[in-house]
A and B are shown apart, each in its own frame.
Chain A
């Protein structure tokens, strides 16, 4: 069983206890705040002239790592090895420092073996009396297996076991900054992301996500609170006992029952003694047995009373019958024996009972806190938090509970409770002094303050449970209430943050969309303008001096670019229309080849030399679409193919009827679709990075395609050519026209399905 170290920082505690202490500073991101904890520990230890060793960090000075690394380690570990390296541990053992500072327990590329080795090394060093200060970044929490069990289950593949943390770390130090501030630091480059998260920068760095991390942090802290409650309760049992209420009526009743049974037993014994010559020792044993039995089952005063009565009965009825011959030395001895047996047995029994009762209370308090922290994680709003808080507390308290909360919009009471005048002033007192207030006199409820970092924001009101005169004043209960209130206010802060952060993240999303739109549109609008303005200014500047051929070329050049500009503007408007949901396809039966040929003609006009091969069977069933919109889809796809396959590229178009739909394949010989981007390329403003420069698309063309196709109830997808050559294939699935009603003879042709494939 590992030792627990509960207590103040090394500055205030005696380090020569033979065993070192492990302190873990928890933060959300590497270098985000928990390093400050290490720095503080480092300073304190230095001030006390203790020997400190610092393992090199993954973090650079820019990430907030400011501690000078102990040089020996620099030489030791070219690969930044840590405690899993026996050589490093050996070096530490040789130096025997008072304090070892490790930047992080959760380095990101540790294997399970390395992690186990690190864990063993930590335990070894702690046993040697070397204290360790280190950090855990919650971003890496997915790599731990059971830190937050049971609310979260981490995947089997998780590399690092957090078990030892739960066992040995009694002291969580939380260094934590609000998500908004953290985000700011992140963008300023003051926070580093662990390598596994690099690819997910954008996903990771939003306020909502950071709030979730914060939430996880609260759970850790919540669990810690419950651990603390469990750990501290036994020490408080002494106070609890002295405050027990003496139940006189209960004692009198039990005494009566004991005397009644005792009288019967005595009558029987006396009869046996008189007529059957029962030996005196047997009688004494039976009486002693009675006392022991009473001691097992009854309270302490009853046991004492029954011991005395048993003695009196023995003395008067058996030893010196009928009251002759009062006290002798033997009698005193006998009385003593009876009393000792009774009292000792009674003491142990009642102690055992009390311990059992206390364990039950502790367990239920612990469970209650745990349930609260668990329930709070799913509470989204202040109301839900309050609801959960009231429900859990009244369950353990056994009586009415309500919460008064000061919010921005004034005071709120959960659930609705009428508050008397005396109670009102009691609440004011509690809020002003951040202390408990007990019910009594006109005051109906007892109150426990709800504080967020020292500022009281409300109070928990507790009505007095029936059968108790007043709020059970045991320290244990007050402690429990404090923890409970802390947990609750933590959750309140979190829900407030969540509201703020979701607004912030929506805002951020909107803004990033807007800026993407601006940059892509401005590029698309400007590029044709370059040729238009350039061409026109050339004509103006040197118009008459130019050969007629050149003049014509400049004019047609400008004209073409103006048309291109028109198409860009058209796309932008189209997207606006699609987004506003006002797009309603006007369907009719259309020959697909006509639409394709038309789109190809338009594409060829712009991409000179583009080779579009439409491979269509002689007779194709018509499709049931809006011809203008669908034509736009085909043009956009050909345009996209031309952009990626180059001006003189070859584009193959294939058709494939399939039941009630027609599938159109448009295949190019460009570089193809990057794996993982098959879906994304249809997103608005998405552009594959590599071809960003050349293919000055707005990132709207494919988004428009998807919008239109989906408005038709069709499907669109992209993949790479399967034949080993590079190139992308876009597949559009559109509904066929209802054949039977339209043109009867077409239906006879439908079986060509087989041929087409």
Chain B
């Protein structure tokens, strides 16, 4: 562990949950700060500039949703990982639309949390360094943004402009959950944010074209009822 310690802000009103997160993440080499309500979270995000925020949605003083909006409005650009005990998809979608990056449903194990945390941190580092014009997942896909070229293995894949745009939006937000709404807005424009069937159809075509030996790519993950995620960690794990 040679790199600088990443700073993580934990926001949860349950002392017991904060305790285990502090110990677990601290042991994994992170520097941990804690906030127990929404207002405190907003203050600390501004003053400490953490590298990542773990945010519970049900908070006293200020609702988790408002915290996201407020923190983003204050100029915080780091990833926000939602911890939600509610299985209500709508809350999660709302949080993602307000600017959160990923979510974990409580209860969860430490391994899962660490995996998500690391992939979010890596992404934010990539973004900070300016981002490449090519995106590569070894052995799977190479995208050249400048040339509008996509290669699966060594084969050039013929994508329609819409399909390419869709893939580009996904890949340039790698390891971040994109809600249906957000993708539709990006690719089809603000008038079509409710037309989920477009997305489903194009996503099906895209997956077929990116398939290797008939096997559809695992790095495009479907999050039922929420959206999609271009997950660079999946392929390595497999």
Binding site for B on A (CB under 8 A): 522-523, 526-535, 537-538, 540-542, 545-546, 550, 553-554, 557-558, 560-561, 647, 691-694, 696
Provide the bound-state CA to CA distance between A530 and B28, in Å.
19
Provide the bound-state CA to CA distance between A693 and B113, in Å.
22
Chain B CB within 10 Å, residue with most, of A530, A537, A540, A691: A530
Q: Is the CB of B28 within 8 A of A542?
A: yes
Provide the bound-state CA to CA distance between A546 and B27, in Å.
7
Question: Could you say which residues of chain A place their CB within 8 Å of the CB of B60?
Answer: 691, 693-694
B63 at the interface (CB under 8 A from A): yes
Provide the bound-state CA to CA distance between A559 and B24, in Å.
17
Complex: chain A residue closest to B88, CB-CB:
A519
Q: Is the CB of B59 within 8 A of A693?
A: yes
- Segment at the A interface, from B13-21, B70-78, B197-205, B222-230: B13-21
B107 in complex: contacting residue of A534, A560, A692, A693, CB < 8 Å: A534
Q: Is the CB of B24 within 8 A of A538?
A: yes
Question: Could you say which residues of chain A place their CB within 8 Å of the CB of B23?
Answer: 535, 538, 546, 550, 553-554
Q: Is the CB of A526 within 8 A of B106?
A: yes
Distance of A601 from chain B, by nearest CB (Å): 20
Complex: chain A residue closest to B86, CB-CB:
A523
| Among all A-B residue pairs, the 6 with the closest Cβ atoms | A693-B58, A694-B60, A537-B109, A538-B24, A531-B16, A533-B107
Question: Could you say which residues of chain A place their CB within 8 Å of the CB of B234?
Answer: none
Q: Is the CB of B85 within 8 A of A526?
A: yes
- B93-109 at interface with A (beta carbon < 8 Å): 106-109
B-side interface residues, number (CB < 8 Å):
31
- List 17 additional contacts besides A530-B14, A533-B107, A554-B23; criterion CB under 8 Å: A527-B14, A529-B106, A530-B17, A530-B106, A531-B19, A534-B107, A534-B110, A537-B111, A541-B109, A542-B24, A542-B28, A545-B27, A546-B23, A550-B26, A553-B19, A560-B16, A693-B13
Question: Could you say which residues of chain A place their CB within 8 Å of the CB of B213?
Answer: none
Q: Is the CB of A541 within 8 A of B107?
A: no
Question: Could you say which residues of chain A place their CB within 8 Å of the CB of B57?
Answer: 693
Q: Is the CB of A557 within 8 A of B58?
A: no
B87 at the interface (CB under 8 A from A): yes
Binding site for A on B (CB under 8 A): 13-17, 19-21, 23-24, 26-28, 37, 57-60, 63-64, 85-87, 106-111, 113-114
Question: Could you say which residues of chain A place their CB within 8 Å of the CB of B15?
Answer: 647
Question: Could you say which residues of chain B place their CB within 8 Å of the CB of A553?
Answer: 19, 23
Provide the bound-state CA to CA distance between A624 and B142, in Å.
79
Provide the bound-state CA to CA distance between A61 and B76, in Å.
40
Question: Could you say which residues of chain B place their CB within 8 Å of the CB of A526?
Answer: 85, 106-107
Number of A-B contacts (CB under 8 A): 94
Complex: chain A residue closest to B37, CB-CB:
A694
Q: Is the CB of A554 within 8 A of B20?
A: yes
Distance of A550 from chain B, by nearest CB (Å): 5
Complex: chain A residue closest to B85, CB-CB:
A526
Question: Could you say which residues of chain A place their CB within 8 Å of the CB of B106?
Answer: 526-527, 529-530
Question: Could you say which residues of chain A place their CB within 8 Å of the CB of B27?
Answer: 538, 542, 545-546, 550
- A-B CB contact pairs (8 Å), 12 listed: A526-B107, A531-B16, A532-B107, A534-B21, A537-B24, A538-B27, A541-B109, A541-B114, A693-B64, A694-B58, A694-B59, A696-B14
Provide the bound-state CA to CA distance between A540 and B108, in Å.
13
Provide the bound-state CA to CA distance between A57 and B128, in Å.
53
Question: Could you say which residues of chain B place their CB within 8 Å of the CB of A546?
Answer: 23, 27
Q: Is the CB of A696 within 8 A of B58?
A: yes
Distance of A676 from chain B, by nearest CB (Å): 22
Distance of B24 from chain A, by nearest CB (Å): 4
Distance of B20 from chain A, by nearest CB (Å): 4
Q: Is the CB of A530 within 8 A of B59?
A: no
Question: Could you say which residues of chain B place their CB within 8 Å of the CB of A527?
Answer: 14, 17, 85, 106
Question: Could you say which residues of chain B place their CB within 8 Å of the CB of A558?
Answer: 20
Q: A527-B85, A542-B27, A550-B23 are in contact. Are A534 and B17 (CB under 8 A)?
A: yes
Provide the bound-state CA to CA distance between A529 and B59, in Å.
18
Question: Could you say which residues of chain B place their CB within 8 Å of the CB of A693?
Answer: 13, 57-60, 63-64
Distance of B194 from chain A, by nearest CB (Å): 14
Provide the bound-state CA to CA distance between A545 and B21, in Å.
16
Distance of B4 from chain A, by nearest CB (Å): 21
Question: Could you say which residues of chain B place their CB within 8 Å of the CB of A522?
Answer: 87
B85 in complex: contacting residue of A523, A535, A692, CB < 8 Å: A523
Provide the bound-state CA to CA distance between A696 and B110, in Å.
23
Q: Is the CB of B85 within 8 A of A557?
A: no
Distance of B16 from chain A, by nearest CB (Å): 4
Question: Could you say which residues of chain A place their CB within 8 Å of the CB of B58?
Answer: 692-694, 696
Provide the bound-state CA to CA distance between A542 and B60, in Å.
32
Distance of B47 from chain A, by nearest CB (Å): 23
Complex: chain B residue closest to A543, CB-CB:
B27
Question: Could you say which residues of chain B place their CB within 8 Å of the CB of A691?
Answer: 60
Question: Could you say which residues of chain A place their CB within 8 Å of the CB of B28?
Answer: 542
Q: Is the CB of B17 within 8 A of A533?
A: no
Q: Is the CB of B24 within 8 A of A557?
A: no
Q: A557-B19, A693-B60, A693-B63 are in contact. Are A530 and B24 (CB under 8 A)?
A: no
